[in-house]
Amino acid sequence: MLTTPAALFEASFDSSKISFPPAAVIRPRREEDIGVALTLANRHGVPVTVRGRGTTLMGSAAPVRGGWVIDMLRLKRLHVEVEAGLIIAQAGATVGDIQRAAAAEGWFYPPDPSSKEYCTIGGNIACNAGGMHGGKYGVTRDFVVALRGFLPTGEYVEWGTATKKFSAGFNLRDLWIGSEGMLGVVTGAVLKLIPQPAARWTLLTSFRDETAALQAALALFRQRVQPAICEFLDRESVLCAERATQTTVFPGQAGRPVILLELAGSPAELREQKAVVLAWAKAHAHGFRAARSRAEAETLWAVRRKCSGAMFELGDAKLNEDIVVPMRNYVRFIRYLAGLKRRTGLPIPTFGHLADGNLHVNIMYHRGVRAEARTAEAAVGDLMRTVVALGGAISGEHGIGLAKTPFLRLQHRPAQVKAMRAVKDALDPKGILNPGKMFDPVRIWKYPKITVHLPWDHK
Ligand SMILES: Cc1cc2nc3c(=O)[nH]c(=O)nc-3n(C[C@H](O)[C@H](O)[C@H](O)COP(=O)(O)OP(=O)(O)OC[C@H]3O[C@@H](n4cnc5c(N)ncnc54)[C@H](O)[C@@H]3O)c2cc1C
């Protein structure tokens, strides 16, 4: 157990950069130690917050009620079951390490949050993390076969076994996935793998405007094409990324919205899909460019990777909303967004994963300008109400944490919130695990942010 000022400070915040110092930090080397800590905490009513790498942007890993932080980073053993196509991972392993261990055996673990070199599989399970591959392959939930860990009371549990089929009893495994560290501590997971795709192909397409881009994407999906990745960047995002990378996506076109596609599969599958996609691009795109090599594909992907960090040229503060819009409402949504930009006068660069409707709407403002901060806060509320009215979700991959607590009741009816609270009370009768999150509306904007540079900032 650590109580040095440095250890307490490090564990006091996540990527939301709002700091709540804990009383102590526990860095277990053995999974059993977590059970011991939880038993004691439960007995004495000590709040406990589990921490992976603290990359969440929602404040969900910040120990708002103090108490103990359990830091999972030492628990990072991995083992691939080659024949079964499974990987058994301790919760502190990074997603990047899991992907590399799988690839070394010819397998592929598709969920790929942009933070994958830092974030842990425990954190991904707790947030049901997604990424660019979500549309074709699915998100973390789709790859979790079984979980083990501890209930908030300190009792050890296993939800499922290292087998692909399991129908014995209630599925509490899925209750833990996306529970944001409030229903139990994941210490290990059995994850499903798929064969590595033999070939990949990248195509960059540009469009007259955002509406044309989204209409074109729908036309592609109607042809039953499932790109491994289908990323949309609006005009503002493209301009920021171009300036940051000092490249021009399509020379002379001053930043048009783009869709970046990756096809993956066997060479035969790829040949078939390529033909369909090229015909689609000719019919719908303003311009298109296929990567002739992996190196060229990398330069195209660099634009996508840079766009999030590059937006800070538009303001020193960002409200990054990971909303989901049903495909049938793509065009209505993009028109709404254009109106929101006009009404607020704020830059709102937007990019995201078109194959699953998960768009990252980035409301940029200057922290020191009070009027801008107030407008940004009001814009988030407006955005959330609109997304729900369009049949979408207030979060597709980041979760609720603290930041989205004011909007939980927009998404869920009172009976649904009551059911969620009942589950929490049943598994955590003393309310010790990650208290203060999810249910009680917190205006996160009210808290001062600390000044600290994280390795993944502006990625
Ligand atoms: C630059 C950047 C890019 C990102 N890109 C993406 C993206 O593409 N897709 C995406 O989905 N997210 C993304 N995120 C968000 C974040 O990386 C994910 O939510 C990730 O899953 C958090 O993992 P972590 O290990 O950092 O968890 P933490 O931030 O430490 O914790 C997150 C939550 O999980 C809980 N938790 C952590 N470990 C456990 C455990 N073992 N058992 C139970 N609960 C646990 C914590 O209590 C907390 O509630 C991004 C973040 C950044 C900073």
Same domain for 143 and 121:
yes
Please tell me the predicted confidence (pLDDT) of residue 458: 66
Total number of domains in the chain:
2
pTM attached to this predicted model: 0.96
Which residue's C-alpha comes closest to atom 41 of ligand 1?
A: 122
Same domain for 108 and 32:
yes
Same domain for 158 and 244:
no
Of 363, 378, 399, the residue at which a domain comes to its end is 399
Q: How many residues does the chain have?
A: 459
CA of 24 from ligand 1 middle (Å) equals: 21
CA distance 397 to 95: 15
Q: Is residue 93 part of a domain?
A: yes
Question: What does the mean pLDDT of the chain come to?
Answer: 95
- Whether the predicted pLDDT of 354 surpasses 60: yes
- Whether the predicted pLDDT of 443 surpasses 90: no
- Whether the predicted pLDDT of 257 surpasses 80: yes
Residue given tokens 């969440």 in the structure block: 56
Q: Which atom of ligand 1 is nearest to the CA of 60?
A: 49
Residue 114 belongs to domain with CATH number: 3.30.465.10
Write phi, then psi, for 443 (nearest 5 degrees): -90, 90
Q: Which atom of ligand 1 is nearest to the CA of 125?
A: 21
Please tell me the predicted confidence (pLDDT) of residue 72: 98
Which residue's C-alpha comes closest to atom 18 of ligand 1?
A: 56
The CA-CA-CA angle for residues 197, 199, 205, to 5°, reads: 110
Pairing type for strands 48-51 and 68-71 reads parallel
Same domain for 341 and 268:
yes
Residue 216 belongs to domain with CATH number: 3.40.462.10
Nearest to 208 by CA among 259, 243, 245: 259
Same domain for 260 and 171:
no
Q: Is the CB of 114 under 6 A from ligand 1?
A: yes
Q: Is residue 456 part of a domain?
A: no
CA distance 6 to 220: 52
Same domain for 414 and 299:
no
Same domain for 305 and 169:
no
Same domain for 109 and 152:
yes
Please tell me the predicted confidence (pLDDT) of residue 259: 96
Q: Which atom of ligand 1 is nearest to the CA of 120?
A: 25
Which residue's C-alpha comes closest to atom 44 of ligand 1?
A: 181
29 lies in which domain range?
A: 1-196+406-450
Same domain for 186 and 94:
yes
Same domain for 285 and 251:
yes
CA distance 352 to 398: 13
Tens of pLDDT, residues 365-401: 998 999 999 999 999 999 999 999 999 999 999 999 9
SS3 of residue 281 by DSSP = helix
Q: Provide the pLDDT confidence category of residue 313 given band limits of 50, 70 and 90.
A: very high
Please tell me the predicted confidence (pLDDT) of residue 446: 78
Q: Is the CB of 166 under 6 A from ligand 1?
A: no
- Whether the predicted pLDDT of 265 surpasses 70: yes
Same domain for 308 and 294:
yes
Same domain for 243 and 170:
no
CA distance 79 to 77: 7
Q: What b/e readout covers 419-455, taking b as 16+ CB neighbours within 10 angstroms?
A: ebeeebeebbebebbbbbbbbeebebbebeeeeeeee
Distances (CA, A) of 322 to 90, 105, 329, 403, 417: 27, 33, 16, 12, 21
Q: Is residue 72 part of a domain?
A: yes
- Residues contacting 79, CB < 8 A, separation 6+: 87, 88, 89
65-68 long-range contacts, CB within 8 A, separation 24+: 65/20, 65/435, 65/436, 66/20, 66/21, 66/22, 66/23, 67/22, 67/23, 67/41, 67/432, 68/1, 68/22, 68/23, 68/24, 68/25, 68/26, 68/37, 68/41
Report the pLDDT averaged over residues 191-211. 96
Q: Which atom of ligand 1 is nearest to the CA of 124?
A: 21
Report the pLDDT averaged over residues 111-128. 96
What percentage of the chain carries pLDDT values higher than 70? 99
CA of 6 from ligand 1 middle (Å) equals: 22
